[in-house]
Structure 1
Amino acid sequence: MFLEGHIVEFLDSEQLRIAYVRKQERDRLHLVDPRGRNLSVNGDRVVIVHRTAFENDFPAFARQISEEVARRQAEIDVELLWQSLAEKPRELEAEELAEIFFAEASPEAASAMFRALMEDTLFFKRKGSQFFPKTEEQVSTERTRRQRQREREEFRERTASLIRQLVNNKDVPVTPETEPILDRIQNWLTYRTGDEAAAILEEIVGAARAREAAYAILLGAGRLDPSVDRFLVMAGIDPEFPPPLLEAAEQLLPRVPQPGRIDYQDVPAFTIDDEDTLEVDDALTVRRSGSKIIVGIHIADVSAFVEKGDLLDAEAARRCSSIYLPTVTVRMFPERLSTDLVSLTAGVPRPAFTVEVEWDEQGNRLGYRIALGTIRVERRLSYDQADEIIEAGDPSLEALHGLAKHLHLLRAERGAITFRRPELKIRVHGDAIHIKKVDPNTPSRLLVSEMMILANGLAADFASVNSMPVIYRTQEPREALAVEETPAIEALTFERIRKTFKRSRLSLTPGSHSGLGLSAYTQASSPIRRYADLVTQRQFTAILSGRPAPHVREELLQILVAAEAAEQEIRAIEDRSTNYWLLEYLSRRKKDEPLSAIALDSKGSIELEDYYLRAKIAGPNKLQPGDTIKVQIEAIDPAKGEVRFRVA
């Protein structure tokens, strides 16, 4: 059809547009729209052809046509038209439908019909320029879908309005209208179930603050116990064990010495832990055999009580690790197991996974063996008690401390990171916040640390040599730095070292751990507290008993992935909780006091010397890295984990 000089309507992205055909080249039309913009389209996109006109008259005609089309479209009852065609459905052009409804098929009537059916898609399907009436079933189904969609949108609008009210009110009103919203938010926070109310909350306050906002809302509504740690609640972690787990733990019996285990009960064993530690998972022995020194590192044998796939194992796999917060400890196992049957309690025999190492008097390692044993702890020592005993010259502990210093130096020569900073131990009892500074470089802490690193390193060597499937921990080499380990520049030195750290990773293939200065490293020394350690221990105890390893590589890979994810999440929970209570302590006790700090850079980054807290100071400054200054709190919000200082 020759269209040059005509006013036409064509389809453009599912919309009808009016234009004037300035020129036609075969199937290509060169158009101009009412605003004078030039267009080029294929002729098959034209669906309505109006009158011919001069180009100069086109804008006026376009307005007239549009007004007439709008008037006609307002008259169309699409449902009535559909009903008249339902008995004999067939594909129809817009002109035919206009003829049926208006009793005429003018271009304006056809355009009005085309536009009406494009807007209301309930009753007709469109294919190109033709329309086909839908069946009654199709219309009914679509009506139901649209009704549900409207209800969802209305619910979303109501929910968003209510959530905004809840977010902005400290005293949350509990009404028949808010109750269902509170239910949904609580289910999302507690069970991590996907919910539209939670999605709306994330939109309103931001995904990063959604759980804090949910906690505040539920606390204000009286839905949460304020004595339960806020960070556990926000993470959806229930510290309690379900009744079947508690019952399974209660049914366990102490393990008496068994055949096949080496009996170490005649060798005096001792433990060194914090005063409040209840999950005691390692003990040490030291004895002489002629000129040789034999050191035993004994790990609680949890695998003797917890079998692969049983109820306790499944729960430990789900939890992945114990969680240590200032307010509470969330254990991986029920207390009947973790603080009783497997804990290396003084005076009772306990099954152990033992790494026994022989040394000459010069500190050269002569050999080692890994075995299953039975031990009886003779002395339980705190770190402070152990330090006093070492200082007093106790032969056993003094020998172990000397060996630990020797091992520490050897690892340092192999590139290990030996620079360890003091830490804060925060405990909350009722309304009281207690802060204790822990020095990791005391003789007893160095002793325990080096013995555990030794045991885990030798276990990794054993597994590697014997092609045992276990989970290894590896770390790529870091950038070498020459550092001066002095208290005066401790924070600055640590900041420099921290930037060179490579993240340690879990692997099924042995590899070097640069941070520890070892060729291979696994972790089997904390099976009461870390599920991956229990799995590794279980592999060893099976092999040492002459049985095949219970976990194949594919299972270990799944455990590895879960352990890495859980490790990050739990560390984040512990860090946030510790930071919250530190800021709460500073807010209560130190808000108006000048505090000593050291500048980490020239951009306002500082560290509080007594609290190892990194923060920013407000306003311009002329600080240089290493400067010591006095600062005061300018603004602090423990719940948000935010604090800002000013120069005092």
Structure 2
Amino acid sequence: MATDQATPPLDSLVLYKVKPARVIALGDKIEIELEGGETKRVRPKDITLLHPGPVRSFAELAPLQGELDAAWELLEGSETTLRDLAELIFNDYTPASAWATWQRVAEGLAFVGTPDAIQIRPRAVVEREQAERAAKESAERDWRSFLERMQQARLLPEDRVRLAEVERLALGLSEHSRILEALGYPETPEGAHRALIRVGHWPERYNPYPTRCGVAQGDPDLPVPGLGDEERLDLTGLAAYAIDDEGTQDPDDALSIEGDRLWVHVADVAALVSSDSPIEREARARGANLYLPEGIINMLPAPVTEHLGLGLQPISPALSFAIRCDPKGMLQDIEVHRSWVRVTRLSYAEVEGRLDDASFADLRALTERYRARRFAQGASQLNLPEVSLRLDGEGRIQIRPLPPLMSRELVTDAMLMAGEAAARFCLERAIPIPFAVQPPPDNNDPAQDLASMYAKRRSFKPTRLVLEPDRHAGLGIELYTRATSPLRRYSDLLVHQQIRAWLLGRPLLEPTQVLERIAEAELAAANVRRCERLANQHWKLIYLKEHPNWRGEGVVVGLEERRAIMLVPELALEARVRLREGTTLNQSVRLAVNEVDLPDLNVSFRPLS
């Protein structure tokens, strides 16, 4: 058989790619006919002669029964041709036997090669490949069955292991999933999240955002040193109040009034957390406490808060800022002391009912002078809706609006006074610290209603921590640093470490060291803030999904083409809603839940007529 001839005869049987074909015309190119009647013009090298013919119809290539195993055993380990192998298997060399034989060769199991040189493979090789093919076929059947169960959301226990790859994508730990690709889901964290919920592998309540944002999910487990002996100013005779939201677990600031002098006491965290200690490096890597509705993940080991949280022990060590505020709201006579304080813990609500008591009335008088100065210098006051979002011990979602309280304003201004005092104290002594600065917003219009406050907040530029002092426009302060939350924020802890080093006459960190540490911590803190925002949205949507009959008020704060941006005050939730023409800013609209999309963190509302 001359399979290498340049031009096969008419009506011969040839192989075109993997299909049989019949030669029907000869010329510069060869015209062939395929099964089904399709014709093609091809080059001689594009086809391989299997039998010289004649072949009049593809019906002649009907399946044949032959002695396949006997031929293999007889020729095992040798080489032959298509013609000889066909005659051995089928006792004849016809177009039908040539095609049937070639199909066995094309399987690539017992026979491999070309029509002119077919190798008969050894039994051991064939049996090994048969086992591999059987295993592959079994795996493919298992894969198809698994995909069917995924589509039907009827998983078996053993399917859970397979879903690890989808979980990794849902948690932002990988970028590809064969399962999602096969099922037609987008290979995104949201697509993976949707698939895992749909098949019941993840409960709807599962919060993936701590892992997806790359934040620590447990308190540091590091040894905490004891508090060293050092001289401290005894302020235990002053009434001191740590005023926080009810349920706060990490009180790190308290207030006292002494005549015309305000004292802001701050937990002396730097007394236990020294620069470059393992605890300090861990806090730097975390950046800040993570506040989730499920609970708090601390940047410092829990014993630090237990020992130093103000009011958690009968007497607490503090770094106390003494400040006088003149009639124009200017700070004077700033002092900083390592101190002992005796602190009483109160909630904002409790203080709200005692604002006329002598101590709180005097505190109000000082902070209101300071507040007036800030607003005269351009401070912004945005009373946008805020809520407290918590899961109780039984897993119920508790959403409680935070009302605007005078007690909250009092504490806020006292903390800002301490921040300005710390900044001035450090600047006057050339102590390198991170100053908090913010350029003025693009929108300087007065904000008196929800829509204008929403618009103004969107125009704010981010606060930056820098080595060179500058104005913080949003607060209306010419010089400011964060110094009142060292249990909660690394930047505050760093300020405390520098102040304590100066007070004790120890070496200070160089400006470049301060900048490097702040850069590392702020990157981590940005992930913490993102995680908090996403987790809060997640639990708000879970709340709405678990309360499908929810009804509430929304306020229009922005207008887009055919949609309104709405704030839902009781949930502190933003949404876009299609409303009728003529909708105006600050208009209240009664809303009902239309659909909650957990993976996309989106909720749609419908207006109630």
TM-score by length of 1: 0.66
> Does the alignment pair 1:591 with 2:549?
yes
Please name the residue that 1:70 is paired with. Answer: 46
SS where residue 601 of structure 1 aligns?
strand
Match of 2:517 among 551, 556, 559: 559
> Does the alignment pair 1:438 with 2:402?
yes
CA–CA distance in structure 2, aligned partners of residues 501 and 182 of structure 1:
43
> Does the alignment pair 1:316 with 2:283?
yes
CA–CA distance in structure 1, aligned partners of residues 161 and 368 of structure 2:
62
> Does the alignment pair 1:374 with 2:355?
no
Q: 1:283 to 1:189 in 2, by over 3 A?
A: same
Greater share of residues in helix = 1
CA–CA distance in structure 2, aligned partners of residues 518 and 415 of structure 1:
9
1:312 partner amino acid: I
> Does the alignment pair 1:627 with 2:587?
yes
Q: 1:214 to 1:451 in 2, by over 3 A?
A: farther
CA–CA distance in structure 2, aligned partners of residues 466 and 215 of structure 1:
57
Q: Report which structure shows greater RCO (CA 8 Å, sep ≥6).
A: 2
> Does the alignment pair 1:239 with 2:217?
yes
Please name the residue that 1:479 is paired with. Answer: 442
Match of 1:280 among 251, 255, 260: 251
* RMSD of Structure 2 on Structure 1 (CA): 3.8
Please name the residue that 1:411 is paired with. Answer: 374
CA–CA distance in structure 1, aligned partners of residues 298 and 218 of structure 2:
9
1:476 partner amino acid: P
Please name the residue that 2:273 is paired with. Answer: 306
CA contact (8 A) 1:188 1:198 kept: no
How big is each residue's C-alpha offset from its partner over 1:141-183, in whole Å with a ceiling of 9 and x where there is no partner? xxxxxxxxxxxxx9x99999899678756454343xx566445
How big is each residue's C-alpha offset from its partner over 1:68-96, in whole Å with a ceiling of 9 and x where there is no partner? 3435899xxxxxxxxxxxxxxxxxxxxxx
CA–CA distance in structure 2, aligned partners of residues 532 and 615 of structure 1:
33
> Does the alignment pair 1:212 with 2:193?
yes
> Does the alignment pair 1:456 with 2:456?
no
Q: 1:482 to 1:269 in 2, by over 3 A?
A: same
1:387-406 mapped onto 2 (5 Å cutoff): 387-390=352-355, 393-406=356-369
How big is each residue's C-alpha offset from its partner over 1:590-622, in whole Å with a ceiling of 9 and x where there is no partner? 635364543532532222243332212246543
SS where residue 528 of structure 1 aligns?
coil
Q: Is the deviation greater in 490-499 or in 157-166?
A: 157-166
SS where residue 386 of structure 1 aligns?
helix
1:279 partner amino acid: D
> Does the alignment pair 1:295 with 2:262?
yes
CA contact (8 A) 2:553 2:588 kept: no
CA–CA distance in structure 2, aligned partners of residues 166 and 71 of structure 1:
44
> Does the alignment pair 1:577 with 2:543?
no
CA–CA distance in structure 2, aligned partners of residues 386 and 438 of structure 1:
15
SS where residue 296 of structure 1 aligns?
strand
User: Could you list the runs of 5+ residues in structure 2 that have no partner in the other structure?
Assistant: 1-26, 32-40, 51-136
Please name the residue that 2:107 is paired with. Answer: none
CA contact (8 A) 1:215 1:230 kept: no
1:41-190 mapped onto 2 (5 Å cutoff): 61=28, 67-70=43-46, 168=151, 170=153, 172-175=155-158, 178=159, 181-183=162-164
Q: 1:168 to 1:350 in 2, by over 3 A?
A: farther
CA contact (8 A) 1:598 1:608 kept: no
Q: 1:620 to 1:165 in 2, by over 3 A?
A: farther
CA contact (8 A) 2:433 2:514 kept: yes
CA contact (8 A) 2:385 2:570 kept: no
1:343 partner amino acid: G
Deviation at 1:482? 3.2
Q: 1:505 to 1:173 in 2, by over 3 A?
A: farther
CA contact (8 A) 2:235 2:341 kept: yes
CA–CA distance in structure 2, aligned partners of residues 309 and 436 of structure 1:
40
SS where residue 248 of structure 2 aligns?
coil
Q: Report the identity percentage.
A: 23
CA contact (8 A) 1:477 1:514 kept: yes
Match of 1:263 among 234, 241, 244: 234
Q: 1:188 to 1:273 in 2, by over 3 A?
A: same
How big is each residue's C-alpha offset from its partner over 1:548-582, in whole Å with a ceiling of 9 and x where there is no partner? 124x3343333323333223322222122222222
CA contact (8 A) 1:294 1:358 kept: yes
1:357 partner amino acid: I
Please name the residue that 2:9 is paired with. Answer: none
CA–CA distance in structure 2, aligned partners of residues 635 and 493 of structure 1:
28
How big is each residue's C-alpha offset from its partner over 1:163-217, in whole Å with a ceiling of 9 and x where there is no partner? 9678756454343xx5664455556777x75576599779943435156358648
CA–CA distance in structure 1, aligned partners of residues 178 and 307 of structure 2:
42
Q: Is the deviation greater in 410-419 or in 601-610?
A: 601-610
SS where residue 600 of structure 1 aligns?
strand
Q: 1:536 to 1:171 in 2, by over 3 A?
A: farther
CA–CA distance in structure 2, aligned partners of residues 297 and 437 of structure 1:
28
CA contact (8 A) 2:486 2:492 kept: yes
Q: 1:455 to 1:592 in 2, by over 3 A?
A: closer
Please name the residue that 1:385 is paired with. Answer: 350
User: Could you list the runs of 5+ residues in structure 1 that have no partner in the other structure?
Assistant: 1-59, 75-153
Please name the residue that 2:294 is paired with. Answer: 327
SS where residue 389 of structure 1 aligns?
coil
CA–CA distance in structure 1, aligned partners of residues 587 and 300 of structure 2:
47
SS where residue 567 of structure 2 aligns?
strand
Match of 2:526 among 568, 573, 579: 568
CA–CA distance in structure 1, aligned partners of residues 511 and 268 of structure 2:
22
1:647 partner amino acid: P
SS where residue 499 of structure 1 aligns?
helix
Q: Is the deviation greater in 565-574 or in 612-621?
A: 612-621
1:205 partner amino acid: P
SS where residue 205 of structure 1 aligns?
coil
Deviation at 1:448? 0.8
CA contact (8 A) 1:297 1:355 kept: yes
Please name the residue that 2:100 is paired with. Answer: none
CA–CA distance in structure 2, aligned partners of residues 405 and 368 of structure 1:
18
Deviation at 1:328? 1.5
TM-score by length of 2: 0.70
CA contact (8 A) 1:387 1:444 kept: yes
How many residue pairs get matched?
A: 486
Deviation at 1:496? 2.2
Q: 1:180 to 1:461 in 2, by over 3 A?
A: same
> Does the alignment pair 1:466 with 2:451?
no
CA contact (8 A) 1:201 1:210 kept: no
Q: 1:597 to 1:168 in 2, by over 3 A?
A: farther
Please name the residue that 1:119 is paired with. Answer: none
CA contact (8 A) 1:302 1:528 kept: yes
Deviation at 1:299? 0.8
CA–CA distance in structure 2, aligned partners of residues 466 and 62 of structure 1:
94
Q: 1:544 to 1:456 in 2, by over 3 A?
A: same
CA–CA distance in structure 2, aligned partners of residues 327 and 586 of structure 1:
17
